[in-house]
Amino acid sequence: MTSQLINKRSQIDQIQRIALSLQYEGTSYCGWQRQSKDMSVQEVLENAISKLDPYRPIKAVAAGRTDSGVHAAGQVVHFDCSGPIPSSRWAAALNGVLPASIRVREAVLRPNNWHACHSAIYRRYRYLIFNACKPNLFLSPWSWHRYRYRLDDQLMSKALEGLLGRHDFSAFQRTRSQRIDAVTTVQEINLERNGDLIVLEIQASGFLYGMVRLLVGQLVALGEHRMSLKAFERRWKEGRRSEVREAAPAKGLCLVRAGYEEFIFSEPAWYDSFPKYSLAVLDSPKDPPII
């Protein structure tokens, strides 16, 4: 009996770091990070892990702190555990106790010095705009419906060209941000129209608080010809935050993936976690007015 207790204690003392490829539908949550009043994804996930591994305090660390209402298709999270569950079983075990709005795609064992946030070399977001006259119930939870005018996606794409590289993006940062500066590196950015859907994908070393939603709000104003290309460029290059008043709603934004120096998860669990929609041009609104 004593030997069995020693073996069990020894097993519990072996701390392992588990990395998760995580999806969540963010509508019902106040974002990733724990809050004092509202329910967060972090709180729900940590509670689920604690049910399965009650031997030590659990803290889940994410690659990106998504805001309230923002979705994730390939969030990366790590936590340390000391119980008997092997890494290969964590995905199925967690999906058995998590709500349907949170799913674990895959779980893998990582070195104890690996960090979901600090080891990441990029984060990639996708924003969906549904640019049709009539609403679509099945797209509503995942996109921003802009229906009055046909957005000028070519002008919107042109505006994005100058954003590549390392810049001060303080014009696209919410006032409650705790960052010391607003400098980050945009590694890739692309906007394309697929029927009545406009898809923006942006990859950067890191993102400012509210950056993508503020950027999309300005792009839509540009695409509806309510703002000139010159005004758009002046606002972000000169850091005119007071002029950036429109932010896109959270529901159109999704954290597609966080990237690392090495391939951590299998391709289906990581790269293919958010399929691209394809829509024919069936219900496009009229062209925007010339202003």
Show which residues are catalytic. Answer: 67
Instruction: Give the sign of the dihedral formed by CA 278, CA 290, CA 212, CA 132.
Output: negative
Task: Evaluate whether 160 touches 191 at the Cβ level (below 8 Å).
Answer: yes
What's the CA gap between 99 and 26, in Å, rounded? 12
What's the CA gap between 107 and 147, in Å, rounded? 41
Task: Evaluate whether 282 touches 197 at the Cβ level (below 8 Å).
Answer: no
Cα 24 from chain centre: 10
List phi, psi (to 5°) of 194: -130, 90
Task: Evaluate whether 182 touches 174 at the Cβ level (below 8 Å).
Answer: no
Task: Evaluate whether 31 touches 88 at the Cβ level (below 8 Å).
Answer: no
3-state secondary structure of 43: helix
